[in-house]
Amino acid sequence: MLNAGLTGGIATGKSTVARMLVERGAILIDLDELAHEVETSGGEVWTQIVRRFGEGILFADGAIDRRKLGAIVFADSEKLKLLNGIVHPAVFARWKERLGEIREKTPRAIVLSAIPLLIEVGMTEMVDLVVLVYISREKQVERLIERNGFSREEAMMRISSQMPIEEKLSHADVVIPNEGTVEETERTLDSVWEEFKKREKLISLK
Helix (H, G, I), strand (E, B) or coil at 59: coil
* CA atoms of 53 and 72, how far apart (whole Å): 9
CATH topology classification for 2-205: Rossmann fold (3.40.50)
Domain residue limits, the chain: 2-205
Task: Give the 3-state secondary structure of residue 39.
Answer: coil
- Cα–Cα distance between 22 and 17 in angstroms, integer? 9
Residue 11, pLDDT score: 93
10-residue block means of pLDDT along the chain (206 residues)? 96 96 98 94 95 95 93 91 94 96 96 94 94 95 92 90 92 96 96 96 87
Q: What's residue 161's pLDDT? A: 84
Q: What is the pLDDT of residue 39?
A: 94
